[in-house]
């Protein structure tokens, strides 16, 4: 048995790898499930986790990464709140020879040497799936189809890409029109607030596209408060697949959910071990995902963990 190495400044404690993880925040059900997955799988893998919550602010994440560099952790992993503005801090990690893993959200830097790998979802594909559901659902509609969109955190990869994937698909037919689009910051409270404003300013809304379930769930409250029936008067498609949204889908208040998998912990811990050992890892690793309609939501609910 080796003695505890804490305080030696080598980033190891009793031989365990130390991982500094800078999380986005606790904005959604997806995020809570992601955090739990990371914390549990670090424990299982025997990795010492230093965890921070940036409360959806880039400057907090940068400060957390700098503190991990100072503490000489072995590996840094983080889910970048927005896509741009990471070069400086990632160069500091590189100079300190601490490997960085991007998880969940990507960055827009052309310098691929700033990180070892990316583990997460294809958000453009998710947006496309939402668009394909919509164009099927409203395929036979004759008039204009009025869409309102609740975007995720401004500047984040999932907001940018889910908007793009969806926009590309609906562009095929000019009858589809996004009449209002605004950020709901991936939260229930903001989703509700922005939907209230949409309902006041838009005389006719056929469908809501929400970049995540939490905003859709907040919007449902606003729709009901306005005396309309969610899922009927206004159809709803959202992304993630958290329990509450699958329940709303089973109950007919949401019409379609595109899955985004938050359970990235086990794969992340594998990657942490590999990059710490200096092994080659793939540049990009994408998670497997599905979609839910009412029947598959009902079937999935009993086993849904989050």
Question: Which stretch in 28-36, 108-116, 199-207, 225-233 sits in contact with ligand GYE by CB under 6 A?
Answer: 28-36
* The dihedral formed by the CA atoms of 166, 168, 169 and 171, expressed in degrees to the nearest 10: 120
The answer to whether 178 and 149 are in contact (CB under 8 A) is yes
Residue 181, classed as helix, strand or coil, is strand
What distance lies between CA 139 and its chain's CA centroid? 29
CB of 83 to ligand GYE, least distance (A): 11
The answer to the question of residue 190 lying near ligand GYE (CB under 6 A) is no
The answer to the question of residue 198 lying near ligand GYE (CB under 6 A) is no
Burial class from Cβ neighbours inside 10 Å (0-12, 13-18, 19+) for residue 125 reads middle
CB nearer to ligand GYE: give 68 or 186.
186
Q: Which of 162, 157, 159 lies closest to 124, judged by CA?
A: 162
Question: Which stretch in 24-32, 168-176, 198-206, 273-281 sits in contact with ligand GYE by CB under 6 A?
Answer: 24-32
Question: Which stretch in 27-35, 94-102, 200-208, 291-299 sits in contact with ligand GYE by CB under 6 A?
Answer: 27-35
Among 158, 165, 218, 230, the residue binding ligand GYE under the rule CB under 6 A is: 158
Among 19, 21, 30, 64, the residue binding ligand GYE under the rule CB under 6 A is: 30
148 Rama sector, left if φ>0, alpha if ψ -120 to 50, beta otherwise: beta
Among 23, 27, 115, 170, the residue binding ligand GYE under the rule CB under 6 A is: 27
By CB under 6 A, the count of residues binding ligand GYE is 13
The answer to the question of residue 31 lying near ligand GYE (CB under 6 A) is yes
* Half-sphere exposure at residue 125, Cβ-oriented, CA atoms within 13 angstroms: 11
Cα gap 109→114, rounded to integer Å: 9
The answer to the question of residue 163 lying near ligand GYE (CB under 6 A) is no
Cα gap 262→282, rounded to integer Å: 20
Among 146, 160, 212, 255, the residue binding ligand GYE under the rule CB under 6 A is: 212
CB nearer to ligand GYE: give 35 or 146.
35
Cα gap 181→74, rounded to integer Å: 42
Question: Which stretch in 8-16, 26-34, 87-95, 188-196 sits in contact with ligand GYE by CB under 6 A?
Answer: 26-34
CB nearer to ligand GYE: give 48 or 126.
126
For the four alpha carbons of 236, 207, 201 and 174, in that order, the dihedral sign comes to positive
Cα gap 134→255, rounded to integer Å: 10
CB nearer to ligand GYE: give 162 or 235.
162
CB of 197 to ligand GYE, least distance (A): 21
Read out DSSP for 223-240? Answer: HHHTT--BTTTBEEEEEE
CB nearer to ligand GYE: give 249 or 260.
260
Question: Within 243-282, which residues bind ligand GYE (CB under 6 A)?
Answer: 260
Q: What is the contact surface with ligand GYE in residues (CB under 6 A)?
A: 27-28, 30-31, 104-105, 158, 186, 212, 214, 239-240, 260
């Amino acid at each position: 048995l080796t003695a505890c190495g804490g305080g030696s400044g080598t980033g190891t404690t009793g031989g365990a790898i130390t991982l500094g993880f800078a999380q986005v925040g606790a904005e959604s059900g997806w995020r809570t499930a992601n955090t739990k997955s990371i914390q549990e799988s670090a424990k299982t893998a025997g990795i010492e986790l230093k965890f921070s919550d940036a409360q959806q602010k880039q400057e907090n994440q940068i400060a957390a990464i700098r503190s991990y560099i100072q503490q000489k952790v072995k590996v840094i992993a983080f889910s970048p709140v927005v896509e741009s503005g990471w070069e400086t801090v990632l160069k500091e990690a590189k100079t300190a020879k601490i490997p960085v893993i991007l998880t969940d959200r990507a960055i827009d830097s052309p310098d691929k040497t700033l990180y070892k790998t990316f583990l997460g979802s294809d958000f453009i594909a998710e947006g496309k799936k939402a668009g394909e559901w919509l164009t099927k659902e409203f395929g036979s509609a004759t008039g204009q189809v009025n869409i309102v969109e609740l975007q995720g955190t401004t500047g984040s990869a999932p907001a940018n890409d889910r908007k793009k994937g969806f926009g590309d698909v609906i562009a095929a037919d000019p009858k589809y029109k996004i009449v209002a689009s605004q950020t709901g910051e991936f939260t229930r409270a903001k989703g509700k607030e922005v939907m209230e404003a949409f309902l006041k300013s838009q005389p006719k809304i056929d469908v809501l596209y929400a970049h995540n379930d939490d905003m859709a769930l907040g919007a449902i409250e606003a729709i009901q408060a306005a005396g309309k029936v969610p899922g009927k008067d206004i159809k709803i498609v959202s992304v993630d697949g958290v329990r509450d949204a699958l329940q709303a889908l089973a109950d007919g208040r949401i019409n379609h959910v595109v899955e985004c998998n938050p359970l990235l912990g086990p794969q992340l811990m594998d990657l942490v071990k590999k990059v710490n050992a200096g092994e080659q890892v793939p540049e990009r690793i994408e998670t497997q995902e599905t979609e839910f309609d009412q029947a598959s939501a009902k079937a999935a609910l009993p086993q849904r963990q989050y």
